[in-house]
Structure 1
Amino acid sequence: MITISVIMLLAAYFFMRFYPAFGGKASSGSIDRFMKSPNYKEGKFMNLEDTPVMAEDASILKTIIEFIKGPENGKPEIVETKVFDKDEFMQGEATETKYTWFGHSTVLMKVGGKTIIADPVFSDHASPFSFTNKSFKYSNNYTVDDLPYIDIVLISHDHYDHLDMNTVKQMDKNVGRYLVPLGVESHLTRWGIAPDKITIADWWDEFEIEGISLAATPARHFSGRAFSRSKTLWCSWVVRTESVSLYFGADSGYGKHFKMIGEKYGPFDFCMIECGQYNKNWPNIHAMPEQSVQASIDLNASQMMTIHWAKFQLALHAWAEPIERARAAASAKGVRLSEPQIGEISTITEVSHTNTRS
């Protein structure tokens, strides 16, 4: 019996060691750089404030049972989306800022005449295995082939719903540069991405690429593609030109970092804020919709768009609840909320709600 257990453990170890979707392991050189980061302590990256993944009174067993049962209206029959035309997206003046949301946290932007995509995931699953965490059905599906040439890819962290191996490998031939937080480069290089195409960032690092100013900024979250957590960094991104300032929030619980970012880089013309996959059992790592709206105020943003919903069921709320709650909170607080249809080409001046903050 012991022999069988040992064999099973060894099999699991070697599977996770060699199955490429789990990603790579940090090199000794990378770890040396980690050691210089103020956010790296005792072999792990840390948040700016204490951030337990689960609430103190949360029941793991009860949560698992709830996931097995599934939430009411957790998945739609189909999500109505728009046909995306990359030629139309690339038209217009270089000073015009466009964006298209492809569901969840994948956002394509045209900024300063350059194309930027954040957290591209075009697979139909958010996991290392194609049969789990399946995406919702869309009336129009999207693939890497729908994209124009991408000057800059922004990755926020290494969770499967934000960093997808197949997407990265398929789009690489049409990508100029990747910007990733510390440690995430190990995954990309394992998947065949040339190291000289990858720029590595710690929080508050700033870059000038293709005439675009970028900064890696804090988020309140964690990382990991297997059993170990927080061995790579997570972040949000600031994107600026002389005429526009954008914020991509990725995954984050509500915290003091939003005001810090707003004070350092605000005001923002447009912010993309996580609003989905929240739950009372993990309140520190995913913001509630009302907190997402407050985050846009802390950032001093003129308008906001909700991301991290409408593609995967990774929590226990109804699939459309995030936008419904965000809409109510934004209206109550006078926040301009952009509600583009998935696949729609929009500009930062096109908003569905025209309330202005008092």
Structure 2
Amino acid sequence: MVAFILLALLLAPLLVVAYVLNFSPRVGANPSGERLQRIQRQPNHKDGKLHNLIPTDMRMPPRTMFKVMWWMLRGGEGREPERPLPVFAFDREAWARVPTDEVAIAWFGHSTMLIKVDGLTFLTDPVFGARASMFSFAGPERFAYTEHFDVSILPKVDAVLLSHDHYDHLCYETIKALVALSESARSGAQAPKGIRYIAALGVGAHLEKWGVPSSAITELAWWEEEQVGSVKLTFAPSRHFTGRAMTNRFSTLWGSFVIEGRSRRLYFGADSGYSPTFKELGERFGSFDLVMLECGAYSEYWPDIHMFPEETVQAAQDLRAAALMPIHWGKFALGLHPWKESIERVTKKADELGLPLLTPRIGRIITVLDRSSSEKWWEGLK
């Protein structure tokens, strides 16, 4: 009997993982049919999977992997804020008043932002769920804020931009909530409607499984373009990877977005290690009024897939950016570093090089040319 109990205790975690991978809707769906064939036709697809443009080492010796897992489970000093982060309550009415010739941004932590260009509202990598994880009960938990954010606070969204399918960028609960809002809008309630989903190639399989109509989904491969009103979107390469389970890594595409309005050009970098693509984008597009680049979750153990803060500043210079807004921080503890180390390091490097930074408090509405939004609101917080 004791042996049976011990065996059950050993098998229980494996059974839970097997259940999640096979039956949990949070994992999503794998590409199939014409979608899979389109992926297989991509020039960076070979040996049954998608590849980065340059060699990208993601190997981690088992000993190192267990060391990292233990460190993250044990928790490191300062990886999470001691108190709820002071944020702004999002003002939907103020958002509606933004003139169409202005570019406005509201950041909700990590890579989730509202971007208003030519009067159109874009929502990037929306994650309002409690965890960035395949499990609802375990995994990286959202930091506490002084205000609560969920899809109910959103204005009318014209398009959702999805860079890749990792849990901290593609959230099952958030997509389901957006679908519910769209359905209630069709029944006459006041809610966002007509939302388009502009996603990395392959991500549409997840969206369809979660109830997004296929007619609302546009999937892009690298360098493909899509028009939303007067705004042109270009899906550009990044140096990263994908997968929502260990069995489907590199099965869907990853990337970034160039956002061009009538008078302003922005870059949403999502996740990427440092690469020559930033310089290529700067040369191809000339310059950017603002670039939004990752600043967080870096480590010596995975240097090729997440930039160090100093590389973030270099990437902004490669892009010929007039200003940099650091993102991918302030919401989840996904790296081994203290929660505000990334913004402190990127601020120091940008100041050394004279690169203007936009560092608005979470929830605050700013305009691209508003340099007063460079407040160091994290100073003094622990």
Is the CA contact 1:54–1:283 (under 8 Å) kept in the aligned structure 2? no
Is the CA contact 1:155–1:163 (under 8 Å) kept in the aligned structure 2? yes
CA–CA separation in structure 1 for the residues paired with 2:13 and 2:169: 30
CA RMSD in angstroms comes to: 2.1
Q: CA deviation at 1:181?
A: 0.8
Is the CA contact 1:90–1:110 (under 8 Å) kept in the aligned structure 2? no
The CA deviation string for residues 18-56 of structure 1, in whole angstroms up to 9 with x for no partner, is 211000121121111012111211111110111112467
Q: TM-score of the superposition, structure 1-length normalised? A: 0.94
1:338 alignment partner, SS class:
coil
Tell me which of 302, 306, 322 is aligned to 1:282: 302
Is the CA contact 2:162–2:198 (under 8 Å) kept in the aligned structure 1? yes
Aligned residue identity for 1:103: G
Q: Does 1:225 align with 2:244?
A: yes
Matches within 5 A, 1:32-43: 32-43=37-48
CA–CA separation in structure 2 for the residues paired with 1:288 and 1:8: 34
Q: CA deviation at 1:57?
A: 11
CA–CA separation in structure 2 for the residues paired with 1:312 and 1:9: 26
Q: Does 1:134 align with 2:153?
A: no
Q: CA deviation at 1:351?
A: 2.1
Q: Residue 227 and residue 55 in structure 1: after superposition, are their counterparts in 2 closer, same or farther (change >3 A)?
A: closer
Q: Residue 333 and residue 233 in structure 1: after superposition, are their counterparts in 2 closer, same or farther (change >3 A)?
A: same
Is the CA contact 2:77–2:338 (under 8 Å) kept in the aligned structure 1? yes
Tell me which of 94, 97, 103 is aligned to 2:103: 97
Q: CA deviation at 1:65?
A: 2.5
Matches within 5 A, 1:226-305: 226-228=245-247, 229-305=249-325
Q: Does 1:123 align with 2:129?
A: yes
Number of the residue aligned with 1:23: 28
Unaligned runs of 5+ in 2: 183-191, 375-382
Number of the residue aligned with 2:214: 195
Aligned residue identity for 1:217: A
Number of the residue aligned with 1:53: 58
Number of equivalent positions: 353
Q: TM-score of the superposition, structure 2-length normalised? A: 0.88
Number of the residue aligned with 2:177: 170
1:59 alignment partner, SS class:
helix
Number of the residue aligned with 2:377: none
Is the CA contact 1:336–1:353 (under 8 Å) kept in the aligned structure 2? no
Q: Residue 352 and residue 316 in structure 1: after superposition, are their counterparts in 2 closer, same or farther (change >3 A)?
A: farther
Unaligned runs of 5+ in 1: none
Is the CA contact 1:339–1:352 (under 8 Å) kept in the aligned structure 2? no
Is the CA contact 2:230–2:262 (under 8 Å) kept in the aligned structure 1? no
Aligned residue identity for 1:257: T
Q: Residue 149 and residue 350 in structure 1: after superposition, are their counterparts in 2 closer, same or farther (change >3 A)?
A: same
Number of the residue aligned with 1:181: 200
After the TM superposition, which segments of 4 or more aligned residues of structure 1 sit over 3 Å from their partners? 3-15, 54-58
Tell me which of 158, 170, 174 is aligned to 2:165: 158
